[in-house]
Structure 1
Amino acid sequence: MTTVRIGAAPMSVDDLLAVVDGARVELDGPARDRIVAARAIVDEALAAGSAVYGLTTQVGHLRNTRLNAEDVHREQEFLVRSHAGGIGPPLPVPVVRAALAVRLAGVARGGSGASPAVADTLVAMLNARIHPLVPGTGSVGAADIGQMAGMAQVAVGLGRAEYRGQVLAGGEALRRAGIAPLVLAGKDGLALISANGVSVGQAALVVARAARAAEAADVAAAVSMEAMRANPSVLHPAVGRAKGVPGQVAAADHLRELLAGSALLTPGSAVSVQDALSFRVVPQVHGALREYVAAARAAVETELAAAADNPLVSVEDRTLVSNGNFHPMVLAIAADALRIAVAQVGQLGERRMAHLWEAFFRQLAGPPPAAAYGLALRYPAAAVVAELKQLAAPATLDVPPLDLGVEDHATGAPLSVRKADAAVGLLEDLLAVELLLASDVLATASAAVALGAGTAAALDLVREAVTAAEPYPDAVHRALRARFPGPAHPGAGHPTGLDAAPPW
């Protein structure tokens, strides 16, 4: 089994995805040293009796209410008990694992001042596959407090958790796994709950899924180009060099690779000197999606490398600093931007479908075949584009003031990320329909032509899906989606990306 070691370097997105997929976690010496050094600063503040938010004072609008020494422990337990709240279906297991791993990575950076026992308990829960049962809606993006408190409750023996396929009381799940409930010291409760584990963790999953969708979008566009005998001049390397956008260059390179061996690349094979924009600007639009996937990934990596606790323990300055690092603003805006890029790719695919529809009937000789599944799904695809447009609206501007006006701004990060996940899923649905419709056009062409290696492989997936499914459009679509781009997450029903290289 793979082991992810958290040491001197920050946790990477790939490390996080490995933990989500079941890799074991270990804390190496440098990480443990940082935790111990930061904890010493907290202990010094406790000994000095200094006024420190959430340590020797209460929180929120009661921030100026001092705690005596006897109340410090009870306050940490109270924070965990009182702040766990949410509504809706529970978070999927991959998101829970991602959130636990994100909090562990943050504690290991040393800024939280949490006790070493906090990190050890998170490691033990991940390795034993104890997954707290936490509602999906509960955070406004100024730390995912409600959901992280639900996870913290399991760590201390409260709450509910899934363990080996059973939903158990948190304490019973720990007992069966041989893990002692965590006893909270000063600041431990706040360190566990005041974190953006859900937002950052799910964003990492979405980034991986969106990167895969960008590749799949190239595949659908390439097959449509084959079906329409589009002009491949738009893929010439000179075009990308002239523009200088790395994502555009990558998209064009991938499209040329998919079309390698196609008759379309033979001089004079294109039917027009210049095609409609939905074909002509594929590298530019698909390249933009790649650029914003990269931006979102960079935002996730920044959060994974950050000390984002309030108060922040500065070992160098030997102090605790009240701050707003719990506000993942860049991440939230990156997810907003990602949804716009996803919608643009979906819109482009839908526009190509209009040309495929026209081509199908133009070249049709006789009645339409009964098994034209892409034709049957053309209108549902249009409905998906409308939904994508709605999802592209910003999620980061709508949270009202809370807690007597003290918390009068929030990022909306969890909603922004959750909407991005939904948008990528809809794009995947749309691309599958485009692939089916392009296949219909090729199947009714008067003469077969040589296809590219990548486009031929994609059409093989269509044939496999049609063979495997019942003869209904929705069934064929489901069967194709399981193959293209593939399952949202292997065995878990949630995205992390591909578990194996695609056939294109």
Structure 2
Amino acid sequence: MATVTISESPLSIADLLGVVSGAGVQLDDGTRARIAAGRAVVDRTLGAHQAVYGLTTQVGHGKDTRLTDEEIRDQQLWLVMSHSGGIGRALPTDVVRAALTVRLNGIARGGSGAGVPAAEILADMLNAHVHPVVPETSSVGAGDLGHMASMAQVAVGAGRAEYGGEVLPGGEALRRAGITPLELGGKDGLALISANGVSVGHGALVLARAARVAEAADVAAALSMEATGANLTVLHPAVGRAKGIAGQVAAADHLRDVLAGSALTAPGGARSVQDPLSFRVVPQVHGALREYVTAAGRAVTTELNAAADNPLVSVPDDALLSNGNFHPMVLAIAFDALRIAVAHVGQLSERRTVQLWDAFFRQMPEGTPPPSVYGLQLRPTAAALLPELVQAAAPATLGVPPLDLGVEDHGTGAPLAVRRTDEALHMLEDLLAIELLLAHDVLAQAAASVTGAGTAAVLATVKEAIAAAAPYADAVHVELRSRFPSI
């Protein structure tokens, strides 16, 4: 697999996802020099005995308490060991790899003040597939301190890590991988933990999923259009041009491609001059999802390539600057907004299942037993999913309580906003699957042929999925008919 080079150039989300999938990473010489220049500022500051947050002072409530020389030497390890609290299941490996890559690229910007060895050990862990075990819940989105501290502990030979399919003590995982634990110095400990690696890395993964779901939503809507004889004038290019929203245009373009060759595109193909809004506004609603995927993508890319450390090392100023760059506010709000867009797409899908339900029974001859059905029995499930999806759209960014009224009295809720969006996408995927199955039921009952280039293909895929589940489904239908002969 290819190797991703960390350089002064921005790291793309595609490159990040490549590392998550197993690509190796390497630092170029310019990056090493940039990191070393930032570390030199830290060393000069230590020599000058200046008061610097987290370096020569305590952190949080003790921000104005100066450290002795001995305490300064111990501070970095203490920060790593004391900030790793968390609860819940372990983060998935792909999120951990994403977070390690985000922190590596952040250190490469040169503003962290970490030494080159701190960056190199993150690269070594990624390349050797040493994956720290990280509790899911531990960050309020003002730097993912707890998450990142769990990762940093493995870098220094503590904590726990998965390696070769086993969960091991961090030091043992490094030993088996042939990696020497990092000896912290300067600002290494604070640099390793003071970052939003999980929020940004998980965000990149969620965005990739959201882009796929946006495409799938179009396909599900298109098959429902085939099943109900929808009016396709809503997809005419002139409609998108009149509105001028890029996401809407993209959604309509995709839907036209999926439906190309369908009988609905012929004159007189539609059953009505105007359909319910759950069909008529598909380009607008699905387009909105695309717009917010794009907005969240900009936020993730910005944070991925930001120097977001506190204190920030400014090499030109030869200074360490107290600041709030660790607050990923735009990213957090972007994922809250994205989740609302996801919920609207889910609303449309659920509303279309009502139309499909009605179409199924409207066209069923009286007294005729219905054929085997698959989506029809899931119609109540779709109704049950929708309120969950709507509740998931509530903001995650406004409910973070103060941690320390004197110092830490605001949080972005970024990791929760991202996680909730991932969960919402899962619910939307389930809704779309039910819609596809119900559209299949309507088409099967009518023995209708589907000739759209994309809709024919997706209908064949649905039939393959049904066939794969046939043993269980057939048993259910046999049992129903044995108990209710009149059906």
Same fold (TM over 0.5): yes
Alpha-carbon distance, 1:406 to partner: 1.3
Partner of 1:296: 296
Aligned to 2:147: 147
* Partner AA of 2:421 in structure 1: A
- The corresponding residue for 1:401 is 402
| Matching of residues 53-452 of structure 1 within 5 Å | 53-365=53-365, 366-369=367-370, 371-445=372-446, 447-452=447-452
In 2, distance between residues paired with 1:212 and 1:109? 31
Question: Aligned partners of 1:238 and 1:63: how far apart in 2?
Answer: 60
- 1:53–1:59 CA contact under 8 A, matched in 2: yes
1:162-216 CA-to-partner distances (Å, cap 9, x unmatched) read 0010000000000000000000002100000111001111000000000100000
Amino acid aligned to 1:90: A
Structure 2 vs 1, CA of residues 194 and 474 (structure 1 numbering), >3 Å: closer, same or farther? farther
SS in 1 for 2:25: strand
Structure 2: distance between partners of 1:130 and 1:10: 25
CA displacement 1:8-62 (0-9 Å, x = unmatched): 2121111111111000001112221210111111111011111110111110000
1:39 equivalent in alignment to 2:39:
yes
Q: Which AA in structure 2 matches 1:131?
A: H
3-state SS of 1:320 partner: strand
CA distance in 2, matches of 1:32, 1:469: 54
Contact 2:339 2:424 in 1 (8 A): yes
- Residues 57 and 67 in structure 1, CA contact (< 8 A), matched pair in contact too: yes
Alpha-carbon distance between aligned partners in 2 of 1:475 and 1:167, rounded to the nearest angstrom: 41
Q: 1:33 to 1:399 in 2, by over 3 A?
A: same
- Partner SS for 2:172: helix
Q: Which runs of 5+ in 2 are unaligned?
A: 477-487
Q: Can you give the 5+ residue segments of structure 1 that lack an aligned partner in the other structure?
A: 477-504
- Using a 3 Å threshold, how does the CA distance of structure 1 residues 15 and 200 change in structure 2: closer, same or farther? same
Look up the SS of the partner of 2:171 in the other structure.
helix
Structure 2 counterpart of 1:448, one-letter code: A
Cα distance in 2, alignment partners of residues 198 and 292 from structure 1: 20
The SS at the match of 1:354 is helix
Contact 1:226 1:451 in 2 (8 A): no
Please report how far the alpha carbon of residue 450 of structure 1 lies from its aligned counterpart in structure 2 after TM superposition. 4.2
What is the Cα deviation at residue 475 of structure 1?
12
Deviation (angstroms), 1:2: 1.4
Moved more, 397-406 or 45-54: 397-406
Structure label with greater radius of gyration = 2
Shift of 1:364: 1.1
Task: Give how far 1:448 is off.
Answer: 2.6
Which deviates further from its counterpart, 235-244 or 400-409? 400-409
The one-letter amino acid of 2:147's match is Q
CA distance in 1, matches of 2:90, 2:19: 20
TM-score normalised by the chain length of structure 2: 0.96
Which shifted more, 67-76 or 292-301?
Answer: 67-76
How many residues are paired up?
A: 475
Distance 1:473 1:195, change over 3 A: farther
Partner secondary structure for residue 375 of structure 2: helix
Q: 1:449 offset after TM fit, Å?
A: 3.3
CA–CA distance in structure 2, aligned partners of residues 169 and 144 of structure 1: 22
Distance 1:197 1:48 in 2: 31
How many Å apart are 1:140 and its aligned residue? 0.6
1-side partners of 2:152 and 2:368: how far apart?
63
Cα gap change, 1:475 to 1:386, in 2 (>3 Å): farther
Query: Partners of 1:241 and 1:473 in 2: how far apart?
Result: 46
Letter in 2 for 1:98: A
Q: TM-score, normalised by structure 1?
A: 0.93
Aligned to 2:480: none
Structure 1 residue 318 displacement after superposition:
1.2
Describe the SS at the equivalent of 2:107: helix
The CA deviation at 1:72 is 1.6
Q: CA deviation at 1:472?
A: 4.5
CA distance in 2, matches of 1:290, 1:195: 28
- Summarize deviations over 1:397-445 as a string: whole Å, max 9, x none: 1111113431000000011110000000100010000000001000011
Kept in 2, the 8 Å contact 1:61–1:404? The answer is: no
User: Could you give the per-residue CA deviations for residues 107-160 of structure 1, whole angstroms, max 9, x where no partner exists?
Assistant: 001110100000000000000000000110010111010110000000000000
- For 2:223, the aligned partner's letter is V
Counterpart of 1:351, as a letter, is R
Taking the aligned partners of 1:463 and 1:287, their CA distance within structure 2 comes to: 28
Instruction: Give the Cα–Cα distance (whole angstroms) in 1 for the partners of residues 475 and 52 of structure 2.
Output: 59
The answer as to whether partners of 1:469 and 1:475 remain within 8 angstroms in 2 is no
Amino acid at match of 1:397: L
DSSP 3-state at the match of 1:444: helix
What is the Cα deviation at residue 304 of structure 1? 1.0
The Cα shift of 1:371 comes to 2.5
Worse-superposed segment, 369-378 or 380-389 = 369-378
